[in-house]
Chains A and B, each alone.
Chain A
Amino acid sequence: MTTVLERSPTGDASDVGRRLVSLRSVSKTFPNGTVALSRLDLDVRAGEFLSLIGPSGCGKSTALRMLAGLTEPSSGEIAWHGTRPEIGFVFQEPTLMPWASVFNNVWLPLRLRGVGKVEARTRIDEALAMVGLSAFAKSYPRELSGGMKMRVSIARALVLRPPLLLMDEPFAALDEITRFKLNNDLIRLAAELGTTVVFVTHSVYESVYLSTRIVVMAARPGRAVAEIGVDAPLERTEDFRSTPVYTETCRRASRALHEAMTDEDQL
């Protein structure tokens, strides 16, 4: 294992800012008895791009949903350092309203904040421009490709300019070319907007390419087993994939993930 996660993580290259939110010894047991998380400690720091990787069923989604306030921990605590900021959430599926145009889909968060359609126009146009879909404002989701739908989903999550963006395996269902493209767009957007991102993926390569820090989780019970800093600035291009830092970090992350899964086999 590379870096065993301590109770209070020591500052290293990945410590890019103040702590935004901390999960402290958080456990989650579902009513049916499944222990999704067991005593998970996790800090999210402002400005970082944090990836959670681990075998399926290790509680990645559960941890993310807790950060979003969509599910409560059975024990432990979620501590926001300061008031809880606006949060954007992107699901594995684009999760668009099929009956609404792209424009109206992106309008939804603003609408729920009481912003009328006319007032919202510039912000919606901006969000669509960010993901390169300005020309598709009037289209309906079913007229778009999978990658475009995911872009709309990202535009919707970003339209309120949330300081924190949570993404649950958002590109898992996309083909590799589309995924690489969206990876680059995501890095650019996160940097432009100064958004902190917590990103769940099952791809080691994706996590290394995108993140400043990677937390490896293991299942049964769900817990964090390793933490890996990615020692490279967030301005990344395809060239990053051929740097020694990238290959070395991928190797470390793969080994950590492999160990996390071997643990499981021994159970």
Chain B
Amino acid sequence: MKICTSAMGVIFRREFSAYFATPLAYVFVLIFLVLSSVFTFYLGGFYERSQADLTTFFNFHPWLYLFLVPAISMRLWAEERSSGVIELLTTLPITQLDAVLGKFLAAWAFCGLAIVLTFPLWITVNYLGAPDNGIIIAAYWGSWLMAGSFLAIGCCMSALSKSQVIAFILTVVVCFLFILMGFPLVLDLFTGWAPSILLDAIAGLSFLTHFQSVSRGVLSLHDTLYYFTMIVVWLAATVYVLQVSQD
């Protein structure tokens, strides 16, 4: 299947502006900003650490995304199915890949916007001290990549169902599994009997494993590659699901 950039672009523009046609976008951005500040300043003990950096802020991102990203992705395909718009979209001269990419990129750009809007925090730490801004930029980038992986999973789950509620729950569960896989608690279940290759593979698939280094500002090519692979694989799965469910 070829990608037609212009068709993808048209879908992207429609989807992106659709976020602002309803209060959804504003509510989402507001919740994201409030929660990330609450997490950072209260739960994260930002002041106690008396260190001017954003490590605590980024450490909470996987947990924030766990509930906020599915709220964005749940409607991507489930809504088209229940409203019947999918029939229109399928009979327009665009490929499913164009539609999947256009919708995904719009959602990802929207997440990026929400992330960028946390810049007052960044200004605050720069006001309070002298953080390493290179680290912060790398962590922002890593966080956005992780949001993309969550979204790609959500995209696929949304394609599976007509119901946005089901899409939301499925996405939370799958994303939670991908976070959990990096926890010692889960890995302990396998240590002892499973070959260490499997152990490494499980830990290596986890969002958390890859995000730990990222939140400290160490963004290796390896981690970037991991997130892009996740995105590609889940979007390919979305196209597959859409094709299979057509008949």
Q: Do A and B come from one complex?
A: no
